[in-house]
Amino acid sequence: MSSPLQHEPTSRTGLHLDEVRARVVAAAIAAGRAASDVTLIAVSKTFGAIEIEPALAAGQRVFGENRVQEAKSKWPSLRAGRASIELHLVGPLQTNKAREAVALFDVIETLDRPKLAAALAAEMARAGKRPRLFVEVNTGAEPQKAGVLPTVLPAFVGLCRAQHGLAIAGLMCIPPVEDDPARHFRLLAALARQVDVHDLSMGMSGDFEIAIAAGATHVRVGSAIFGGRG
Q: Which residues lie near ligand PLP (CB under 6 A)? A: 43, 45, 66, 90-91, 174, 204-206, 220-224
| Shortest CB 34 distance to ligand PLP, Å | 23
Q: What is the Rg, in whole angstroms, of the alpha carbon atoms belonging to the chain? A: 18
**CB of 154 or CB of 205, closer to ligand PLP:** 205
Q: How far is the CB of 36 from ligand PLP (least distance, A)?
A: 21
Cβ-based nearer residue to ligand PLP, 123 or 136: 136
User: Which residue, 215 or 222, has its beta carbon nearer to ligand PLP?
Assistant: 222
- Minimal distance, residue 225 CB to ligand PLP, in Å: 8
Q: Which is nearer to ligand PLP, 153 or 211 (CB)?
A: 211
Q: CB–CB of 195/166 below 8 Å?
A: no
Minimum CB–partner distance for residue 1 and ligand PLP (Å):
38
DSSP string, 98-164: HHHHHHH-SEEEEE-SHHHHHHHHHHHHHHT---EEEEEE-TT--TTS-SB-TTTHHHHHHHHHHHH
Q: Nearest approach, Cβ of 45 to ligand PLP (angstroms)?
A: 6
Q: What are phi and psi of 205, to 5 degrees?
A: -55, -40
Question: How many angstroms separate the CA atoms of 145 and 105, rounded?
Answer: 22
Residue least distant from ligand PLP (Cβ)? 222
Instruction: Decide the pairing of beta strands 218-221 and 107-111.
Output: unpaired
Residue 42 vs 119, nearer CB to ligand PLP: 42
Element at 74 (helix H, strand E): helix 68-78
